[in-house]
Structure 1
């Protein structure tokens, strides 16, 4: 668990706390892992959208990944020079936003995805005749999943359509195997492998249509080890994991193939009430805690700033600003507990400021979504 003592200078509770040493350790571990597999890293910064964390990720990264044009604007302001938007951009004002970014700074490279002629048309209408070119990756999806072409047969015509427009550059292929459930069952891993294999097949089929240094972009935080088995030779193989930087006490703790990652975030909350035996009510709920990938877990317990024994109890229900703990043992009104979260992407957007803790020093950081 994060090494966060109970004597922090907190002005209010609940509060999201970050262990900076754990963040730095996770970044270094991930960079080594990618380099050992001949991959470059473009961390998906939508996990935190926090400038101070992104600045720690940039020195060892090929670029960054974002999910929206708005996030791309932040990334450019924070110093990223290569920005991969792992999404379709088909709303004309947002495409114009990308053109303005590129026109304002010729050191920028922006990449986005497409899976349709209609999507290419929107991009072309904005970029044809422009000075800068937009890099476009063919998005490979799965049936029943999110965006992306569903069959290899769709790729050649889509590549031809991109080539027809001088403002666009066919840059490579992108896929995301993390759409699969975060379970390492044989059936699920075969589904992941099948998706990665199809993406590589599509890349190989288009190889002669790419220019120099084509990109093959794949890999989340759950199955990057599987993705790394399907990398085409001669490509810039871009790993765009995001959750690794914070890790968690839940879904990624269970599924991540990287030993040594450390959970770097907890939400500290006060015990408001013990209205029944073995039942405690905490002052944090849906507005402060992630719950889409599992309820929070109790990982630390403090009384008057002093650490207590490992807390006993299970969070069983969340309200807007309350959490219900059953089988609670040893919690009294006024104590504080640290709640480990599952899925870090779903907690940062709940906070306007987070308290970063590095040794005895603290600093307020501000996520920007």
Structure 2
């Protein structure tokens, strides 16, 4: 990535655009604000923070896992949309950053990202022409995306007619009831043949997303995921003669943050030569205190798991009934699609107990906790992918467990 562009983020002026930033910091640059050694007490609520130690731990843990397993990692950047975090993932050994749509690709290119895997089809003619121009202008830029129909191949080829550089594609295999992707291996082979015959496209691998097929770690779910991955491996075997001869790497790519161990077990043995098995896990970096805490392969395997790096900090603003407290953060601030926030502690008093039973846009309903108006409650969050998008600037604490956590960084996001 462009280190100068990343470094320039420290010169951004803080103001009213960033809801995590107190008014007293307005007018300062990020660097100037951090030089003042701010603490959590200087910030208002509602607030979401990252824990520096947990992020460091998660980066190292995933890098070590992939190295031992002999697989690559192209983490899904859509989780954070934070270029400074993408750079840390690349520095830890990631081979590329995965993104989900064209606007995200443009963010990546704005920060000089040179290895992008788009886990989606790209059919927008104007977007394809822009992409071809980027590839032609930067010989070090590597890009690949997915296709799952002959029609999508035809549309891409039409848009790229006369383009100065070809676009690499992986054929996506799906499954009945899943998301996108060819529904049978035979259909996928037909799409691959269309790619091989098309001008402006190069077939460089097979792809898929097993996470759409299951939502827990039951025996039946794990069997469904394994069966799908075996079909993805079978597809790869059938395409050996169709892969583009000039491709640097042939990718077999799957693996979100819930079942990447099964990907390694089923597809890992296929790696070798120019064939790379590449995971796309993204949520591991922040992990959570909900969905991924329960389903992560490292938690299920009994080894050294990831640590939750995301925390919400909410203030009690009302106790209108016995046993009920209203906190000042809601759906506009916190994730709620994979479980409600988890009360963890009352600042200055230890564990808080109770349960958050509902969220409104700007309020959380905390029941059964011994709290007073004005107390600040730390909550754990579930599903990091729907937290980062709510915060354009995230304070990073040295430790969320410290008596007085220090703010050691501010992470900029671009959604």
TM-score relative to the length of structure 2: 0.83
Q: Which residue is 1:291 aligned to?
A: 336
Q: Note if 1:216 corresponds to 2:252.
A: yes
1:13 maps to 45
Cα distance, 1:358 vs. partner? 2.9
Residues 251, 276 of structure 2: 8 Å contact kept: yes
Q: Are positions 1:322 and 2:363 aligned together? A: yes
Aligned-partner Cα distance in 1 for 2:413–2:147: 28
The 3-state SS of whatever aligns with 1:328 is coil
Does the alignment pair 1:346 with 2:391? no
Give the CA RMSD over aligned residues.
Answer: 1.5
Contact 1:69–1:97 (CA under 8 A) maintained in structure 2? no
Q: In the alignment, which of 219, 233, 250 is matched to residue 200 of structure 1? A: 233
Q: Does the 8 Å contact 2:311/2:381 carry over to 1?
A: yes
Aligned residue in 1 for 2:25: none
- Superposed CA deviations along residues 91-137 of structure 1, whole A, max 9, x for unmatched, are 22222232232133221111000001111112112223222211100
Matched, 1:113 2:154: no
Compute the displacement of 1:9 (Å): 4.7
Per the alignment, do residues 156 and 320 of structure 1 end up closer, same or farther by CA in structure 2, a change over 3 Å counting? same
Cα pair distance change 1:186/1:24, threshold 3 Å: same
Alignment of 1:216-295 (within 5 A): 216-231=252-267, 232-234=270-272, 235-258=275-298, 259-295=304-340
Deviations 1:52-91 (A, max 9, x none): 2112111111111000111112223334321100011122
Where in structure 1 are there 5+ consecutive unaligned residues?
A: 1-5
Q: 1:86 and 2:127 equivalent?
A: no
Q: Verify the 8 A CA contact 2:75 2:282 in the aligned structure 1.
A: yes
Q: 1:186 aligns with which of 219, 222, 225?
A: 219
Aligned length: 359
1:218-257 Cα deviation digits (max 9, x unpaired): 1010000011112224321111100000000000000101
Displacement of 1:159 in angstroms is: 1.2
Match of 1:53 among 64, 75, 85: 85
| CA displacement 1:171-215 (0-9 Å, x = unmatched) | 000011111333111111111011111100001111121135311
SS in 2 for 1:208: coil
Q: Distance in 2 between matches of 1:249 and 1:9?
A: 23
Q: Is the 8 A contact 2:395 2:407 kept in 1?
A: no
Question: Which position in structure 2 is the counterpart of 1:365?
Answer: 411
Pick closer, same or farther for the CA change 1:9–1:123 going to 2, 3 Å: farther
| Alpha-carbon distance between aligned partners in 2 of 1:73 and 1:247, rounded to the nearest angstrom | 26
Q: Hey, what's the Cα distance between the residues in 2 that align with 1:140 and 1:156? A: 10
Judge conservation of contact 1:120–1:162 (CA < 8 Å) in 2: yes
Q: Does 1:75 align with 2:102?
A: no
Q: CA deviation at 1:7?
A: 4.8
Instruction: State the SS of the aligned residue for 1:312.
Output: coil
Question: Which aligned segments of 4 or more residues in structure 1 are displaced greater than 6 angstroms?
Answer: none
Secondary structure of the equivalent of 2:351? coil
1:134 aligns with 2:134: no
Q: Determine the C-alpha separation between the residues in 1 that align with 2:395 and 2:179.
A: 34
Provide the secondary structure at the position in 2 that maps to 1:342.
coil
Cα displacement string for residues 238-294 of structure 1 (whole angstroms, at most 9, x for unaligned residues): 111000000000000001012320000111111111122221100000111111100
Question: Gapped runs of 5+ residues in structure 2?
Answer: 1-37, 299-303, 400-405
Does the Cα contact within 8 Å between 2:257 and 2:281 map onto a contact in 1? Answer: yes
As a proportion of its length, which structure holds more strand? 1
Corresponding position of 1:3: none
